[in-house]
Amino acid sequence: MTATDPYERFGAVPQFTLTSDDVAQDVPLDRAHWGAGGGGGDISPQLSWSGFPAETKSFAVTIHDPDAPTGSGFWHWAVYNIPASVTSLERGAGAEGGGDLPQGAAMLSNELGSKSFTGAGPPPGTGTHHYNIVVHALDVESLDLDPASTPAVLGFNAHFHSLARAVLTPVATAGDI
Residue 13 included in any domain: yes
Q: ∠ at Cα 31 (18, 106), nearest 5°?
A: 50
For 22-61, write each residue's pLDDT tens digit.
Answer: 999 999 999 999 999 888 999 999 999 999 999 999 999 9
Confidence at residue 177, expressed as pLDDT on a 0 to 100 scale? 53
Mean pLDDT, residues 121-150? 96
* Number of domains, the chain: 1
Q: In what order do the strands lie in the sheet with 132-138?
A: 106-107, 74-83, 58-65, 132-138, 162-168
Residue 1 lies in a domain: no
* Residue 3 included in any domain: no
Q: Would residue 141 count as lying in a domain?
A: yes
Considering the entire predicted model, what is its pTM? 0.95
CATH number, domain of 98, equals: 3.90.280.10
2 belongs to a structural domain: no
Query: Can you tell me the mean pLDDT for 128-152?
Result: 97
pLDDT recorded at residue 1: 35
* Residue 50, in any domain of the structure: yes
Provide the domain limits for residue 93.
Answer: 8-173
> Does residue 68 or residue 11 have the better pLDDT?
68
